[in-house]
């Protein structure tokens, strides 16, 4: 009986680890797409950060094979850092008006990864 519960705990941790990896991959893809849009189109569109949030949450949920609240919090934190970093690369500073894009991105990442 103890062996099966131990394997379940290890399995849950490996799924969380895979979920975090999926969130990082999704965030990298989203940041690359957002910056590429800026580089090729020649103008900045901060609401593309919502796409980063979605890809972060979706990548987390996909590799974790399901959503959970903890994974949602982690995906939200990864999305927050990625969107702020990408906006900083695009503007050379963080424009305070873009806080709306960051908040929506974190919310989308959390909702996608946790449900």
Is the whole model's pTM more than 0.75, yes or no?
Answer: yes
Tokens matching residue 78: 């990864």
Sign (positive/negative) of CA torsion 50, 80, 28, 20? Answer: negative
Radius of gyration of the chain (CA): 16
Tokens of 99: 């806080």
Tell me the average pLDDT across 85-98. 90
Which tens digits make up the pLDDT trace of 36-86?
A: 999 999 888 888 889 999 999 999 999 998 889 999 999 999 999 999 999
């Amino acid at each position: 009986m103890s062996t099966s519960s131990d394997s379940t705990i290890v399995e849950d941790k490996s799924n969380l680890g895979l979920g975090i990896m999926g969130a990082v991959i999704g965030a990298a893809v989203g940041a690359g797409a957002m910056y590429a849009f800026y580089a090729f189109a020649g103008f900045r569109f901060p609401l593309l950060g919502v796409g980063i949030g979605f890809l972060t949450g979706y990548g987390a949920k996909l590799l974790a094979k399901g959503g959970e609240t903890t994974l949602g919090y982690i995906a939200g934190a990864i999305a927050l850092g990625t969107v702020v970093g990408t906006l900083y690369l695009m503007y050379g500073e963080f424009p305070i008006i873009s806080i709306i894009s960051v908040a929506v991105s974190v919310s989308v990442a959390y909702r996608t990864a946790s449900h």
